[in-house]
Structure 1
Amino acid sequence: MDDKLCERLRTAAEAYRPDRERMLARVERGMAEGPSARTPLGPLPWLRVVGATAAVCGVLAVGAYAATSAGGGQTRGGQAAASPVPSASAQAAPGRVPELRTEDGPLWADGAVDPHSNAYWAQSNVTLRTTQPLSSLTVELRIAQTGGVNTTGSWRSLPEQDFTVSVQEEGGFLVYRWTLKPGRTVPVGTHTFAGQYNHAEGDRSADDDYFTANAARSTGQQVSVGDNFTSDH
């Protein structure tokens, strides 16, 4: 029915033949009267007809497109098929921490915001405990950029010369990374890695902060642990 209406309107527009002599006479009269007396001419009749035809057909086309888009462009039994709607979890903002295990083989880990943190500054502590020597270890501490977060330093309880340390911004996080140098060993025991940083004034939520630790035993077997931070400071 929409196609027929458009066709009828186009036919009517094509059938219209403007009175050329009358139009030229109007133009000549306007030029003779001068700019001060000239009255703005409205759209010529044939332009109005063609314009109306295009507008109507355009509206019909947009309506048809909208109906098709709403159904994902597919139909079932003559009715538009509804597009799937992402679940609330799928639409959640990025930055939430995946489930991480805190114990794997000989390695155990925990993360906590230091109790000496304040409204302007904080320290996040990663505690690792291993019951076997480790031939390799990489610890990453990720502090979400919640506003004004910038590093003021870091430290670890193991010898400084045993690790390569870096701090940089990555994907909305301030990332501290400690990597054990080749040929060095992490001994059995409990060890601490800490990142220090300023932040915007007030209580800072650490819910999006997390850490990971990837290591290898002396036998070469890989182990991995990690956790998030839930304390607010």
Structure 2
Amino acid sequence: MNEHIARQLREAAEAHQPDRARMLARVQRGAAGPAVRHRARSGLRSWPKIALAGIAAVGALATGGLAVAGIAPWTPQPPAATTAPADPSPTLTPTPTGSAPPSAPPAPATVAPPAATPTVPRPTQSASSRAQNGPLWSEGSIDPHSTVYWAQSNLTLRTGQPLTSLTVELRVAQTGDVRDTGNWRTLPTDDFTVTVQESGGALVYRWVLKPGRTVPAGQHEFAAQYNHATGVRAAANDGYRVDAVSAGGSASVSGGFSPGR
């Protein structure tokens, strides 16, 4: 409420002059008068008079109170200070300075190894397949194209000098149903006499250089072919021997047959 409204209230209170004595006497007369009996209908008519008298008295008291309030100076009271609750200190969660260790890599998927392909066992080696003597060098082996029914024994011969005499002998042990199916050499066919016969429990292949012929220096091949009993044939008892003559004299080499490569 500002000063202007307070001034208006004071002026209105000073201008009003209620007749308090008259109003009080009227109320007292109404309360002290003899009771008059009336019918219920008449009693209802007298009620407004009493009600008006009571309202008038209340109004007078209220007006007087308003006038007193208007005269008394009014000082506005400042609103009660409210203190906002202090914000709670935020809870600090410690942050790890180091990075988390990397997760372990997934274990690699286990792959089953492919099923092994059955292979045919190779024949066993009889003795040292290589030999060297003078100008001669030799090596015996079982041909890698051999099967469980048929085989070929190979002999590689090298000579550092021309040979004027040469005899090559291959022995294939009789391990069961061993039968000749052929032979060949890299030297001219007409230069050799070739025989195949069984002797001492073996099939013997022999190449003999004809008189007057010469084997040139270099590498030469001799091969014996044969059937045998079904299965992997052991060549442990097979062997070869080479006898030769050159300008440097006589020389011989011998050995067995290694599994084919």
2:250 paired with 1:228: no
Report the 3-state secondary structure (helix = DSSP H, G, I; strand = E; otherwise coil) of the residue aligned with 1:161. Answer: helix
Q: Residue 155 of structure 1 aligns to which amino acid in structure 2?
A: W
Structure 2 Cα separation of the partners of residues 215 and 127 of structure 1: 14
| Equivalent in the alignment of 2:197 | 168
Q: How does 1:116-155 map to 2 (within 5 A)?
A: 116-155=145-184
Shift of 1:115: 0.4
Shift of 1:110: 0.4
Shift of 1:171: 0.3
> Which runs of 5 or more structure 1 residues have no equivalent in the other structure?
1-95
Structure 2 Cα separation of the partners of residues 98 and 203 of structure 1: 18
Structure 2 Cα separation of the partners of residues 146 and 184 of structure 1: 36
Structure 2 Cα separation of the partners of residues 165 and 201 of structure 1: 28
Structure 2 Cα separation of the partners of residues 204 and 210 of structure 1: 14
Residues 91-129 of structure 1 show CA distances to partners (whole Å, capped at 9, x for unaligned) of xxxxx9787970001100000000010000000001100
Q: Does the 8 Å contact 2:129/2:258 carry over to 1?
A: no
Report the 3-state secondary structure (helix = DSSP H, G, I; strand = E; otherwise coil) of the residue aligned with 2:229. Answer: coil
Q: Does the 8 Å contact 2:130/2:139 carry over to 1?
A: no
Residues 122-152 of structure 1 show CA distances to partners (whole Å, capped at 9, x for unaligned) of 0000110001000000000000000010000
| Equivalent in the alignment of 1:187 | 216
Structure 1 Cα separation of the partners of residues 188 and 231 of structure 2: 34
Structure 1 Cα separation of the partners of residues 130 and 221 of structure 2: 18
Shift of 1:229: 1.7
Question: How high is the sequence identity, in percent, across the aligned residues?
Answer: 59
Q: Does the 8 Å contact 1:205/1:231 carry over to 2?
A: no
| Equivalent in the alignment of 1:198 | 227
Q: Does the 8 Å contact 1:149/1:198 carry over to 2?
A: yes
Structure 1 Cα separation of the partners of residues 246 and 168 of structure 2: 15
TM-score after normalising by structure 2: 0.50
Q: Does the 8 Å contact 1:106/1:132 carry over to 2?
A: yes
Structure 2 Cα separation of the partners of residues 149 and 178 of structure 1: 19
Shift of 1:218: 2.7
Query: Radius of gyration: which is bigger?
Result: 2
TM-score after normalising by structure 1: 0.56
Structure 2 Cα separation of the partners of residues 101 and 111 of structure 1: 7
| Equivalent in the alignment of 2:238 | 209
Change (3 A) 1:170 1:193: same
| Equivalent in the alignment of 1:112 | 141
Q: How does 1:24-103 map to 2 (within 5 A)?
A: 102-103=131-132
Structure 2 Cα separation of the partners of residues 185 and 125 of structure 1: 22
Report the 3-state secondary structure (helix = DSSP H, G, I; strand = E; otherwise coil) of the residue aligned with 2:240. Answer: strand
Q: Does the 8 Å contact 1:100/1:225 carry over to 2?
A: no
Change (3 A) 1:158 1:224: same
Structure 2 Cα separation of the partners of residues 98 and 224 of structure 1: 16
Structure 2 Cα separation of the partners of residues 114 and 134 of structure 1: 26
